[in-house]
Amino acid sequence: MNIADVIRMHGRLRSDKVAIVDGQRIITYGELDRRVDGFSHAFSRIGVQSGEFVGVALRDTAEHIMAWFGLSRLGAVIVPMDHRWSSSELATVAMRFGVRYTLVDIHQPGNGTGWMRVDSAWFEESRTSYHDPQIGSDSPLVVSLSSGTTGMPKGPCASHQTYENRFMAYWINLGFNASDRFVSATPLYFGGGRGFTWANLFSGATVHLFPPPFEPLELIDLVRTCRATSIFLVPTMIRRLLETEFQGLAFPSLRCLVSSGSALFPNERHQIRQRLSSNLHEMYSSSESGAVSVLSPDDVEAHPNSVGRPCFRVEVEVVDAQDKALPANETGALRYRSPATPEIFLGGDAAESGFRNGWFYPGDLAEIGEDGFIRLRGRFKDMIIRGGINIYPGDIEQALLRHPHVSDAVVLGVSGAELGEEVAAFVVASKPVDAEALEAFCRNEVASYKIPRHFVFMPVLPRNSGGKVVKSELRSLFENMALNTVERVVSNETGT
Could you read off the pLDDT of 223-262 as tens digits, one per residue? Answer: 999 999 999 998 889 989 999 999 999 999 999 999 998 7
The count of other CB atoms within 10 Å of the CB of residue 440 is: 11
* 3-class DSSP state of 101: strand
DSSP 8-state symbol, 47: T
Q: Which of 376, 453, 461, 443 is nearest to 403 (CA)?
A: 443
Q: For the chain, which residues score pLDDT lower than 70?
A: 146-152, 350-351, 465-466, 482-496
Per-residue pLDDT, 483: 45
Q: Which domains does the chain have, with CATH numbers?
A: 5-368 (3.40.50.12780), 383-494 (3.30.300.30)
pLDDT at 41: 94
Element (H, E) at 36: helix 29-45
Burial classification of residue 45, based on how many CB atoms lie within 10 Å of its CB (0-12 exposed, 13-18 middle, 19 or more buried): exposed
pLDDT at 193: 92
- Determine the pLDDT at residue 490: 39
Q: What is the pLDDT of residue 151?
A: 55
Quickly list H helices, 444-491: 471-479, 483-486
- Within 10 Å of residue 155's Cβ, how many Cβ atoms? 23
Find out whether 446 and 423 touch, Cβ atoms under 8 Å: no
pLDDT in tens, 80-91: 999 988 888 899
Q: What local confidence, expressed as pLDDT, does residue 492 receive?
A: 34
The predicted pLDDT at position 78 comes to 96
Q: What pLDDT shows up at residue 271?
A: 94
Task: Report whether 7 contacts 36 (CB < 8 A).
Answer: yes
Give the largest Cα separation in the chain, rounded: 75
What is the helix (H) or strand (E) element at residue 67, kind and residue range? Answer: helix 62-74
pLDDT of 458 reads 93
pLDDT given for residue 62 in this prediction = 96
